[in-house]
Amino acid sequence: MHNEAHADDQPSTGGPSDPPGRAYRAKGPTLGKGKACESCRTRRTRCNGIRPTCSNCTQAERDCVYLDKPRPPASAAALSAKLAGLEERYRMLSEMEAARMGQDGGSIAVNDSARNWVASLDYPTLPPLRPESVPPQPGALDDPYLEETMTKKERKLMIELYQGQCYRYGVTITPSSLVSGLEDPDVAKRPHACVFNAMMLVARDLAMSFAPEPVLDETGARYVDFVMPESTPSEDALITRIQAQCTQSLADVDRLTDYIQASLLLAHWYVRKGRILEGQYSAAAVNRLVINCRLHQIDGDVMRELAPRATPPPAGQSRWDDSLLGRPKDREDLA
């Protein structure tokens, strides 16, 4: 009897035993994400995915329930999708530049392809900017929404606020040149509406985040505190129009300099608001175009070419002749 009791106290030599309370782990390959049953998912145990009852639930004699619900894509998958979109946009712009160097017929075909591609993006579409039967008026922004929402005086007030405080965003845009360009009789030479909507978005943020300097009242006799006009569009409305107008500018290869400026302002606004991923995406998209337009190659030779008394190089001899932006008119245009 004593020997039997002593034998019971000896550890078993048949092999190591599982720790007490350890859940049964089914053997086999690991399932994909979201394929395990709810019971194994709750207990964080490996599920073999056998239906209608997996091995874990069969061993524990419990109900086995599968919920085949779609799961959102992982962050890596979302970034990969956005990267694919950027690569496609870069490919399209490269084709546009190649078509510009070739024959006119090829350029038209590529532009049609670009319009079809941009139309597939998840950006809102814009109504026609202005009926062809209505002649353009001086001082127009080519954006009926902004013109109908705010008066010309209110728009001027917000643009002046941007002009005085834009250094806080670190993006150099010359509002004086843009405003003077509104009077150009050639509509194609006027600034694109995306720039003014971007400037309005930044001005709205400046008015809400900082204490603007006093402004003259209606009589011009005394200074009063700056008050943002109530008719100023909301941030969401401005962002929607900026994205749509930038898409339209890119699809039509129309005033791409304005597209670059508007996209940079929008990227800075996203970063200031803590929307880092959107800011990085917007900045990456516009940087692709900047590189494709060779703006990163600005050096001393380029500046000497645009000196006041310098003789411009013959046609085809300037590095800008075969670029999307064409030759800059002067150093201010280059900046």
Residue 10 lies in a domain: no
**Mean pLDDT across the chain:** 71
* pLDDT computed for residue 172 by the predictor: 61
pLDDT at 266: 92
In a domain, 22, yes or no: no
Q: What pLDDT, on the 0 to 100 scale, is given for residue 125?
A: 44
In a domain, 211, yes or no: yes
CA 330 distance to own-chain centroid: 30
**114 belongs to a structural domain:** yes
Q: Are 273 and 77 in contact (CB under 8 A)?
A: no
Q: Which of 48-57, 100-109, 264-273 has the lowest mean pLDDT?
A: 100-109
Residues 58 and 100 in one domain: no
Structure token digits, residue 188:
């194609």
Within-domain flag for 41: yes
Q: Are residues 176 and 196 in the same domain?
A: yes
Whether 234 is in a domain gets the answer: yes
Same domain? For 41 and 133 the reply is no
If asked whether residues 46 and 135 sit together in one domain, one would say no
Residue range(s) defining the domain that contains residue 37: 28-69
Question: Looking at the structure, do residues 98 and 150 belong to the same domain, yes or no?
Answer: yes
Residues 159 and 194 in one domain: yes
Residue 228 covered by a domain: yes
**CATH at residue 52:** 4.10.240.10
Rank 120-134, 272-286, 301-315 by mean pLDDT and report only the highest: 272-286
Instruction: Answer yes or no: do 187 and 54 share one domain.
Output: no
Distance CA 162, CA 240 (A): 20
Q: Does residue 55 share a domain with residue 35?
A: yes
Q: Which residue has the higher pLDDT, 198 or 309?
A: 198
Specify whether 54 is located in the same domain as 90: no
- Judge whether 224 and 207 are in contact, CB under 8 Å: no
Are residue 96 and residue 40 in the same domain, yes or no?
no
Q: What is the dihedral of CA 42, 43, 49, 52, to 10 degrees?
A: -70
Burial 105-117 (b: 16+ CB within 10 A, else e): eebeebbeebeee
Q: What is the structure's pLDDT at 293?
A: 75
pTM score, two decimals?
0.55
- pLDDT (tens digit, 9 = 90+) per residue, 50-96? 888 898 899 988 889 888 766 655 667 777 777 777 777 776 666 66
In this structure, the answer to whether residues 152 and 55 fall within a common structural domain is: no
Q: Specify if 5 maps to a domain.
A: no
